[in-house]
Amino acid sequence: MAYKFEDLEVWTRALDYSDQVHDIAEQLPKHERYNLSDQMTRAANSIALNIAEGSTGQSDAEQDRFLRIAIRSLLETVACFHLINRRDYLDDLGLLREAYHDSETLFAKLQAFRASLDTDSTVREAPIEYDEGAPF
């Protein structure tokens, strides 16, 4: 393969996960087509895209930044799963359960990839502090 990311197991897992998310999105009600469905599929696509973008010609610190974005996108899809379940959008929760399980594996792989990088020079984001623990 011509590009570094194409040989990464985490990238191929991200592609598989994106396919799962798209399969779930296709089963959502039509009124969610331009809302939850689009949001969820964009986030799922973003995982693989950020792995690819961060892999080529970048420092470890820069790659780490893209992996953190990929992780955030993954968590966004998981939050969408909770909304789907909460709103009873699917009759059969099998696909949702399988995707949730695979999200845990993908999350662990992304975290392990990040841990393998030499990121001493990375810029860390300051934590957000909320009054009394509430964001609003």
pLDDT in tens, the chain (136 residues): 588 899 999 999 999 999 999 999 999 999 998 899 999 999 999 999 999 999 886 788 889 999 999 999 999 999 999 999 999 999 999 999 999 999 999 999 999 999 998 766 545 556 656 556 544 3
**pLDDT given at position 69:** 97
Question: What is the predicted pLDDT for the residue at 59?
Answer: 86
Spatial contact of 127 and 121, defined as CB atoms under 8 Å apart: no
Q: Which residue has the tokens 């379940």?
A: 85
DSSP string, 18-66: HHHHHHHHHTS-GGGIIIIIHHHHHHHHHHHHHHHHHHSS--HHHHHHH
CATH class of domain segment(s) 4-117: mainly alpha
